[in-house]
Every structure is written in structure tokens, then in C-alpha cells.
């Protein structure tokens, strides 16, 4: 009996069928009224009582294995048949595969919102390379040679640049690096465009920062530049106020604090009145009623001259903001890493925002 069970176990494991008929034949052969497994059950009646326990268990395992294998083969041949006739004989009432609707990334939503606001004010959009040279990221923007952003710890360098000069003067010049701000696109625009210039430059930027809830080595900026005859600080203040009201609501106030950037003079940092508490003070604005949103300033004459613009005749302003920062304020997302980790639970939160 033991050998018979084992032989049948092997037969079941090796069972194959190419059609419904063959599956049915196998079923009859093994489990039908006169099937070999059914016959074994007959034989089992005559087994000595002390052996019944062992054989009974084995027989049940065999029967279950045969039943499962036959069900599996039946499904296989039916699937094959359904595919072969284009599904015509499949179950037409079955619901279709659901389509998961994707959602726009919050950074893309806010970037578009910022771009749309400045488009209304008459700004063009300019883009430039993410791998830049030192000239466009630092030199043309009046960064002194010893500025910390020019250090390996703060900027990702791609190449050493060209070896120039002779003897003592020999040095590397104009290395390639990952841009640390999109001000580089403003330089490119000043170099090639006719005046007046009114552009915004959205894009991805890179800084050698340890990743935490408040800092990331990749983020996105929108920077803006306006150059014409007679542009003043008051024009800048008005443009930023209008932007802040479009972005955060018509009641929004702004305030400017003196600041420093190598490429603007004077420079300022801009805060908007907290749109959560309306300026009364809450945990988002840390009780101050104000939230910092951007840096700005009047373009330094050295920067205009470096790009071949007559600084006696023209003046302009520039500003720059982080897209993630604005998105954080808009949706109170406190951990910057959420924007880069592609966690669907986070991204799906935005599928109702168009």
C-alpha cells in the first residue's frame, strides 16, 4: 500500500494537461469512481487496525494533492483558452482592472503656481543647465574667491576645471559644478538677451548639505530678475508684495529685513504675515506672526558689468525663493524629506489638487 501511495504521489506531481478533456481524463483516472486513488480507499478498509492511522493520513494527503493539482491544471487550460480566443469566452461581466489615477507632485504644483503669477506680471520663463561652470554660478555674481559656497563642503564639484597660467600663476580655472542656485540662469539671460529683461528661472539646485527634516542636498528654486532703466527698490517691493498676495491671500503683509548676498546691494530677506494665524502668532510662525519666504536685492553694478550691461544706464532687482519652502508653508508639511522619497501615501494627498 505504501508503495502504491508513493507512486501515485509522484504521478500527481508530474501531472500535465493541454486541454480541458485531458484534465477531465486525469480526474477520472485518479479520483473517479474507479480511479486509482478511490480504489486505494477501498483497499484501506482491509488494512490492519494498527496501520490505519498512518495510511489514513498519507491517503488524505494524496487525495488533497490530486484535487489541488487538477484544479490548478483546469485553471491553466481555461486561462490559455480565454487568451487564445481573445477573451471572448472569458467572463465578460468581470470588472476591468482599475486604473490608478496619478497625482501631480507638490513641488510641480507650487512651481506652476509661482510661474503663473509672474507670467501675469509679464515675466518670461528661462531655464539653464544643472551642471554649470564656476563663472555662471559664482564669478559673474560677484562671489569673492574665498566665499564658503566655493568650498567642496558646500558645493558639489564635477571637474577641476582648466589648468591655466604659467609658473607661480598656474591654477585651475572655471571648474564644473552642480549649480547651487538658479541665479546662474539669470547670468546666462543677461549675457544673451536684449534689455529690458524680465525673467523668472525655476529649477533644481544642489548643495552639499546633510539631509534632515529642514535641509536637503537637492531642492528647487524660482529666482527672478528685472532690469531696465530706472528700476528702483520700490519697484521690487511692489512686485514682491503683489506676488505674496496672489500666493498667500489678499490680506497678506510683507516686511523686509536687511540681508547680504554677494550679487545684490542693498539686499533683503522678505517675510510674509503668517497665513495660519493671521499674524497673531502660532506654532507655524513660532509665535512671531511672520514667515520667511525669499531673498532679494538690487543687482550689484559689478554683476551687471560682468554680463556686459552698462550699470550707469540700467538698474534692476533680483529675488529667489525655495519651492519646497513655499509648499511647506502652503500645506504645513514639516519634513522636507517627504518631497523626495516618493512615498505614495504622501503623494496621494495631492491628487485632488490640480
Contact residues: ligand PHE, CB under 6 A: 181, 183, 223, 261, 264, 295-297, 318-320
Phi, psi of 184, rounded to the nearest 5 degrees: -60, -35
Task: Report the residue count for the chain.
Answer: 354
The Cα–Cα gap between 270 and 92 comes to: 62
Q: How far is the CB of 79 from ligand PHE (least distance, A)?
A: 58
Q: How far is the CB of 129 from ligand PHE (least distance, A)?
A: 16
Q: Which is nearest to 181 in space by CA: 318, 337, 292?
A: 318
Q: Which residue is nearest to ligand PHE (CB)?
A: 320
Q: Which is nearer to ligand PHE, 23 or 261 (CB)?
A: 261
Q: Which is nearer to ligand PHE, 235 or 349 (CB)?
A: 235
Q: Which is nearer to ligand PHE, 12 or 291 (CB)?
A: 291
Q: Which is nearer to ligand PHE, 182 or 338 (CB)?
A: 182
Q: How far is the CB of 264 from ligand PHE (least distance, A)?
A: 5
Contact present, 181 and 207 (Cβ < 8 Å): no
Q: Under the phi-then-psi rule, with left for phi > 0, alpha for psi from -120 to 50, and beta for the rest, what region is 5?
A: alpha
266 preceded by a cis bond (ω within 30 of 0) = yes
Q: Is 67 exposed, middle or buried (0-12, 13-18, 19+ CB in 10 A)?
A: middle
The CB-based long-range contact list for 149-156 (8 Å cut-off, 24+ gap) reads 149/180, 152/208, 153/208, 154/180, 154/207, 154/208, 155/180, 155/206, 155/207, 155/208, 156/206, 156/207, 156/208, 156/217
Q: How far is the CB of 209 from ligand PHE (least distance, A)?
A: 13
Terminal C-alpha separation, the chain: 71
Q: Which is nearer to ligand PHE, 23 or 114 (CB)?
A: 114
Q: Which is nearer to ligand PHE, 63 or 181 (CB)?
A: 181
Q: Which is nearer to ligand PHE, 73 or 222 (CB)?
A: 222
Q: How far is the CB of 182 from ligand PHE (least distance, A)?
A: 7
- DSSP string computed for 256-282: EEEEEETTEEEEEEEEEE-TTTTTS--
Q: How far is the CB of 153 from ligand PHE (least distance, A)?
A: 17
354 preceded by a cis bond (ω within 30 of 0) = no
Q: Among all chains, which residue has been given the C-alpha cell 486525469?
A: 26
Contact present, 29 and 11 (Cβ < 8 Å): no
Q: How far is the CB of 299 from ligand PHE (least distance, A)?
A: 8
Q: How far is the CB of 326 from ligand PHE (least distance, A)?
A: 13
Q: Which is nearer to ligand PHE, 183 or 189 (CB)?
A: 183
Amino acid at each position: 500500500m505504501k508503495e502504491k501511495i508513493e507512486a501515485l504521489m509522484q504521478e500527481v506531481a508530474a501531472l500535465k494537461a493541454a486541454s480541458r478533456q485531458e484534465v477531465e481524463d486525469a480526474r477520472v483516472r485518479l479520483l473517479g469512481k474507479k480511479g486509482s486513488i478511490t480504489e486505494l480507499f477501498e483497499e484501506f478498509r482491509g488494512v490492519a487496525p494498527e496501520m490505519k492511522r498512518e495510511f489514513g493520513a498519507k491517503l488524505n494527503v494524496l487525495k488533497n494533492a490530486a484535487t489541488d493539482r487538477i484544479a490548478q491544471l483546469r485553471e491553466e487550460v481555461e486561462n490559455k483558452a480565454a487568451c487564445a480566443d481573445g477573451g471572448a469566452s472569458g467572463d465578460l461581466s468581470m470588472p476591468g482592472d482599475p486604473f490608478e489615477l496619478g497625482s501631480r507632485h507638490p513641488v510641480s504644483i507650487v512651481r506652476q503656481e509661482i510661474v503663473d503669477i509672474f507670467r501675469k506680471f509679464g515675466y518670461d520663463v528661462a531655464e539653464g543647465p544643472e551642471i554649470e561652470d564656476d563663472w555662471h554660478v559664482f564669478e559673474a555674481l560677484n562671489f569673492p574667491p574665498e566665499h564658503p559656497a566655493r568650498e567642496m563642503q558646500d558645493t558639489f564639484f564635477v571637474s577641476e576645471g582648466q589648468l591655466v597660467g604659467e609658473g607661480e600663476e598656474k591654477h585651475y580655472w572655471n571648474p564644473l559644478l552642480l549649480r547651487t542656485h538658479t541665479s546662474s540662469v539669470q547670468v546666462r539671460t543677461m549675457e544673451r538677451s536684449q534689455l529690458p529683461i524680465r525673467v523668472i528661472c525655476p529649477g533644481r539646485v544642489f548643495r552639499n548639505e546633510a539631509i534632515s527634516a529642514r535641509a536637503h542636498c537637492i531642492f528647487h528654486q524660482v529666482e527672478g530678475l528685472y532690469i531696465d532703466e530706472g528700476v528702483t527698490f520700490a519697484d521690487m517691493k511692489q512686485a514682491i508684495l503683489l506676488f505674496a498676495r496672489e500666493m498667500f491671500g489678499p490680506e497678506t503683509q510683507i516686511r523686509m529685513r536687511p540681508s547680504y548676498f554677494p550679487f545684490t546691494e542693498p539686499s533683503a530677506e522678505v517675510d510674509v504675515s503668517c497665513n495660519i494665524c493671521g499674524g497673531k502668532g502660532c506654532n507655524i510662525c513660532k509665535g512671531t506672526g511672520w514667515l520667511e519666504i525669499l531673498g532679494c536685492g538690487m543687482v550689484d553694478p559689478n554683476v551687471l558689468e560682468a554680463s556686459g550691461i552698462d550699470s550707469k544706464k540700467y538698474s534692476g532687482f533680483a529675488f529667489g525663493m525655495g519651492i519646497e519652502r513655499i509648499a511647506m508653508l502652503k500645506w504645513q508639511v514639516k519634513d522636507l524629506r517627504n518631497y523626495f522619497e516618493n512615498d505614495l501615501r504622501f503623494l496621494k494627498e495631492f491628487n485632488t489638487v490640480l
